[in-house]
Amino acid sequence: MSEQFALFTDEHQALRESARGFIERELTPHAQRWEEERWFPDEVFGKLAAQGLLGLKYPAEYGGQGGDYLHEAVLVEELARVGSGGTVAGIGAHVNIATPPIWKFGTDEQKRRYLAPAIRGEKIGALGITEPGAGSDVASLRTRAEQVDSGFLVNGEKTYITNGVRAHFIVTAVKTTDEGSHHGISFLIVDRGEGVRSSKLSKLGWHASDTATISFEDVFVPRSNLLGAENEGFKLIMANFQWERLVMALGAVAGMQLAWERTAEFARERRTFGRPLSAHQAIRHRLVDLATSTHTCRCVTYDALRRFVAGEEPVREVTMAKLLTQRACFELMDACLQIHGGAGYMREYWIERAARDARLGPIGGGSDEIMREILGRSLGL
Ligand SMILES: Cc1cc2nc3c(=O)[nH]c(=O)nc-3n(C[C@H](O)[C@H](O)[C@H](O)COP(=O)(O)OP(=O)(O)OC[C@H]3O[C@@H](n4cnc5c(N)ncnc54)[C@H](O)[C@@H]3O)c2cc1C
């Protein structure tokens, strides 16, 4: 299966090689332990920053590498090699969902206060949108920000927030007025401090990440931390969705490729009834189907990425890529686990974790059902 396509230049490929080396040296060997400890160390952010990997797409004036979305795409693909969905989720939440709104909507002063230290790995970010009563239906969120002298007083609760325990700042969606469903949402950068309490959730996969509920009780946020225009927060939510979904598609395809290669190797080595597993037609055909699925997912994802990078607004293509890849990835992981037999069910085998981690894809970042709703509208249905 070709990895290259014409999308990436030699410079992107050079980044791929150096990122891969770093990841396989510094992150992958610890993945199993971090998963068991239900936590990866905060120092990971510092190590990534030292390699310039927290600011690939961000401007040099804030400490970034001044690269493009393709540089970031390369990193997303290579991070699949960590082998811990939780670690990748924590890094991804910081780089690809918490900091992009500051980059796009923040003032210069906010970028210096939050984006620059985030790129240096000194401040870790989270994005807080989901609430107990508002997930897919974002417009029903109830966390309130009341106007007070020189700022806001925030009360409410967020849930399922990645980096929700460790984050130094939370890019938080709040209601600033009661009017309108999509209206009246604003974004505040909330520093961890008085009145902000997190509690870590236990979950099926992504064990190394701290998914948490965060409560806000009379939290004062200065007006200088209002991100973007007041009552226009819905735009900010929509602005990063395409990139977030592309990131999920890219990560899924890279994970599928890796799982396929490892499973094919296992099937060549493991013998039953006097032959390697891969010599049994049922297994060989299954592997062929999985290779075909991976290739299809990559083509659809790269088509969406190419359009995105060219400046189109490829909502339909990105939505299709997200929908197709997340379910296909989970199905591939399940099939790879099956090919491993009893070993696939054991903690010591990577596929046990990969299969659990992949279950999040069809739920997070907009569920399969929501992707179908978007596509239904886009197709005039
Ligand atoms: C591990 C993890 C990490 C996460 N990280 C973050 C984070 O960092 N920041 C953040 O803000 N959020 C985060 N989320 C939240 C995630 O985005 C939501 O879980 C997701 O959007 C779904 O919302 P919900 O859980 O409230 O489900 P609901 O919206 O209650 O949906 C329940 C089910 O009903 C379906 N459904 C809903 N509406 C419709 C409809 N109109 N038609 C048909 N079916 C429908 C959904 O697809 C789903 O299957 C995370 C979630 C998880 C599990």
pLDDT in tens, 190-208: 999 999 999 999 999 999 9
Give the mean model confidence (pLDDT) for residues 233-243: 93
Question: Which percentage of the chain shows pLDDT scores above 70?
Answer: 98
Q: In the predicted model, is pLDDT for residue 2 greater than 50?
A: no
Ligand 1 atom, smallest distance to 129 CA:
11
Evaluate: CB of 294 within 6 angstroms of ligand 1. no
Mean pLDDT (the chain, rounded): 96
Model pLDDT for residues 310-362, shown as the tens digit of each residue: 999 999 999 999 999 999 999 999 999 999 999 999 998 999 999 999 999 99
- HEC profile of the chain: CCCCCCCCCHHHHHHHHHHHHHHHHHHHHHHHHHHHHCCCCCHHHHHHHHCCCCCCCCCHHHCCCCCCHHHHHHHHHHHHHHCCHHHHHHHHHHHHHHCHHHHHHCCHHHHHHHHHHHHCCCCCEEEECCECCECCCHHHCCCEEEEECCEEEEEEEEEEEECCCCCCEEEEEEECCCCCCCCCEEEEEEECCCCEEEEECCCCCCCCCCEEEEEEEEEEEEHHHEECCCCCHHHHHHHHHHHHHHHHHHHHHHHHHHHHHHHHHHHHHCEECCEEHHHCHHHHHHHHHHHHHHHHHHHHHHHHHHHHHCCCCCHHHHHHHHHHHHHHHHHHHHHHHHHCHHHHHCCCCHHHHHHHHHHHCCCCCCCHHHHHHHHHHHCCC
Neighbouring residues of 204: CB distance < 8 A, sequence distance ≥ 6? 356, 359, 360
Q: Atom 42 (ligand 1): residue with closest C-alpha?
A: 369
Evaluate: CB of 336 within 6 angstroms of ligand 1. no
pTM: 0.97
Q: In the predicted model, is pLDDT for residue 47 greater than 70?
A: yes
Q: Does the CA dihedral 22-28-33-36 come out positive or negative?
A: positive
Give the mean model confidence (pLDDT) for residues 152-173: 98
pLDDT at 181: 60
- Residue 15 alpha carbon to ligand 1 centre in Å: 34
Residues that are catalytic: 244
pLDDT band at 1 (very low <50, low <70, confident <90, very high): very low
Neighbouring residues of 34: CB distance < 8 A, sequence distance ≥ 6? 40, 41, 84, 86, 87, 208
Q: Atom 31 (ligand 1): residue with closest C-alpha?
A: 136
Q: Atom 2 (ligand 1): residue with closest C-alpha?
A: 160
Q: Atom 51 (ligand 1): residue with closest C-alpha?
A: 160
Evaluate: CB of 272 within 6 angstroms of ligand 1. no
Question: Which percentage of the chain shows pLDDT scores above 90?
Answer: 96
Evaluate: CB of 138 within 6 angstroms of ligand 1. no
Evaluate: CB of 136 within 6 angstroms of ligand 1. yes
Model pLDDT for residues 106-143, shown as the tens digit of each residue: 999 999 999 999 999 999 999 999 999 999 999 899 99
pLDDT at 179: 78
Q: Atom 25 (ligand 1): residue with closest C-alpha?
A: 135
Evaluate: CB of 354 within 6 angstroms of ligand 1. no
215 pairs with which residues across the strands? Answer: 157, 197
Q: How far is CA 21 from CA 18, 26, 265, in A?
A: 5, 8, 22
- Residue 366 alpha carbon to ligand 1 centre in Å: 6
Give the mean model confidence (pLDDT) for residues 151-165: 98
